Amino acid sequence: MGEKNGTVVAGGNGEGNRRDQLDYPFSIVVDQDHSVYVSDWNNHRVMKWMKGAKEGIIVAGGNGKGDALTQLHYPNGLFVDRLNTVYVVDSKNHRIMRWPQGATSGSIIVDGNYRGDQGNELDYLKGLSFDRHGNLYVADFWRHRVQKFSIELSSHN
């Protein structure tokens, strides 16, 4: 049988917006170095917690909620490639953003119009994943579908 008690690896200092806190952690990704990436939903940011760290590093968003390229609006699904580029579902902005390591702003790689059921009309995106060919798959929650997009990934995934 497994362990009965877990070890806190991110947050754990109550709800809040300090770098040692999270406010509704939504999705997590663990990279090859055992760093933990967390979509911090109510703080509109993605945090990276290196192994053994007492506080996280903001790697996407963190400038309040909004639709500027420096902001996120309720981030949820995450993917991190081998270059530590963060791909994040920016749910209330109906888009997917890419944040290269060290970037202070992101770029929009999938941007959906809010109304309708066409391929470019996305509503409340949730999860995302990539296949080995670089195709992006996105869960479109309110449209009850998963969509596939061909995008250019950062080099050497």
Stated pTM of the model = 0.90
Domains parsed from the chain with CATH numbers: 25-150 (2.120.10.30)
| CA separation for the pair 122, 7 (Å, rounded) | 37
Tell me how far apart the 2 most distant CA atoms of the chain are, in Å.
Answer: 49
Average pLDDT of the chain is 91
Instruction: Give tens-digit pLDDT for 72-115.
Output: 999 999 999 999 999 999 999 999 999 999 999 999 999 876 66
pLDDT of residue 43: 99
Poorest-confidence range of 18-27, 87-96, 111-120?
Answer: 111-120
With 60 as the cut, is the pLDDT of residue 57 above it? yes
Residue 133: how many CA atoms within 13 Å on its side-chain side?
Answer: 5
- One-letter amino acid of 114: Y
Q: Which amino acid is at 31?
A: D
The pLDDT score that the predictor gives to residue 52 is 94
Mean of pLDDT values over 5-31: 96
